[in-house]
A and B are shown apart, each in its own frame.
Chain A
Amino acid sequence: MNRQEITKITSQLVQLGEDQDELNYWLQIYDDLPEEKQAMLYINLKQELETLQKT
């Protein structure tokens, strides 16, 4: 759940049609989020990527 991984996931999401501006914002604030929220965000993005890759 490091920043590099989050960056990779968001990049893949953008390729699948996600909003680049929105995801850039999340990347920008990621390091300042509480750990619990970082984990929630990571799960959220990863699950979205997996779901979009299936459709």
Chain B
Amino acid sequence: MNRVENEQNPNRAETVPPREGAEVSAVEQHRELQQLFENYKGEKIDAVNTETQTVLQSPNKRLEAATSIGYTPEQIEQFKQEQGIDNKLDQSRQQIEALGVDTRTRIESAKTSEVVAETQPVQTEQTENQAEREKTVEQFQEKRGNILTNVLTSEITSNGLDLVPFAGSGKMVVESITGKTLAGKKMTGKERIIHGAMGAGSLALDFTGIGEAKDMAIIAGKSVGLVEKVGVKLAEKGSVKGARIFLATSKFMSEHPQLTARAEQFAEAQIQQQIKDIRDYRKQAA
């Protein structure tokens, strides 16, 4: 058994070629290792069978060889009976057969779990790599989202579209909308674009006339139109590049209606809260 274990690693190292990182899935690697192991196991079981048979036959061969040094078959038979050799041979044969069965059983069963255990670190490593990659992507998407929010907000403020009398602080509104999602989860890159546009667009709500009617939704169901209107206003004011960015963003939002609807729900709640806070503050001040 030790020989089997000792030979296992060198054999595998020769057979498994070095693989390139993420190109091979854990499942493929696992399957490949298992196939190699099954082949190796088959070879070793054959070897155990052969060696068991060789050992079982060797006592008879030795007794048969005794005739070559002058003993007659009768003398050998008499000797065997006197010494109880047949009984001893039977016992040895049974032990050898039992040992062969035991060896085969161990090879067939115990080693499979070791192969599985050996592939687990590979899978764990790949999972860790995946988590690291997702974190990297998220961090860079967040930075890009901030770039966009900054661009859109700058376009609105530098062109005098940031009136927002209802909320008092435009920066607070933008930050409250662009920071997170309705579910409070981290945002994807697409969500950051949509939330950024909605946050910046909310600065121009008053200017565009969207959301002015009392007891109606301020931004829910209207954000695509709002961002588009801001684009049109910017074009009127001569900011062609800014206008194109808003119009492209409006198009992007309309291409992702579910994300936009979720962002609108969240933005609506944030803006309504800001309005309530301002009203409460004014009441207290009065």
Q: Please judge, given known A-B contacts A37-B147, A40-B147, whether A21 and B140 are in contact too, CB under 8 Å.
A: no
A47 to B189, CA, bound (A): 16
State A29–B136 Cα separation when bound (angstroms).
23
User: Does chain A have a CB within 8 A of B157?
Assistant: no
Stretch of B3-11, B72-80, B243-251, B273-281 lying at the A interface: B243-251
> Across the interface, which residues of A come within 8 angstroms of B133, CB to CB?
16-17, 52, 55
The residues in B between 167 and 225 inclusive whose CB is less than 8 angstroms from any CB of A are 188-190, 193
Q: How far is the CB of A10 from chain B (nearest CB, A)?
A: 11
In the bound complex, CA of A45 to CA of B123 (Å): 29
When the two chains form their complex, are residues B244 and A55 in contact, meaning their CB atoms are under 8 A apart? no
From known contacts A41-B147, A55-B132, infer whether A17 and B244 are also in contact, taking CB-CB under 8 Å: no
Interface size class of B (residues with CB under 8 A): 20 to 34
Overall SS of chain A's interface: helix
Any A CB within 8 A of the CB of B31? no
Are B151 and A19 in contact, CB atoms less than 8 angstroms apart?
no
Q: Chain A interface: which size bin?
A: 20 to 34
Asked whether, in the complex, the Cβ of A29 is within 8 Å of the Cβ of B189, the reply is no
Judge if B106 is at the interface, Cβ distance under 8 Å: no
User: A15-55 toward B: CB 8 Å interface, digit per residue (1/0)?
Assistant: 01111011101101100111001001100110110011001
Partner of B136, one of A19, A37, A41, A48: A48
Q: Smallest Cβ distance from B237 to chain A, in angstroms?
A: 15
**Structural contact, A33 and B248, CB atoms closer than 8 A:** no
- Determine whether the beta carbon of B190 is less than 8 Å from that of A29: no
Query: What residues of chain A lie closer than 8 Å to B150, measured between beta carbons?
Result: 37
> Using a CB–CB distance below 8 Å, which chain A residues touch chain B?
16-19, 21-23, 25-26, 28-29, 32-34, 37, 40-41, 44-45, 47-48, 51-52, 55
Q: What are 16 A-B contacts with C-beta separation under 8 Å?
A: A22-B188, A22-B190, A25-B249, A25-B252, A26-B144, A29-B249, A32-B242, A33-B241, A34-B151, A37-B151, A44-B147, A45-B140, A48-B136, A48-B137, A48-B140, A55-B132
Known: A21-B252, A22-B193, A37-B151. 9 other contacts (CB 8 A): A18-B189, A22-B144, A22-B190, A28-B248, A45-B140, A48-B137, A52-B133, A52-B137, A55-B133
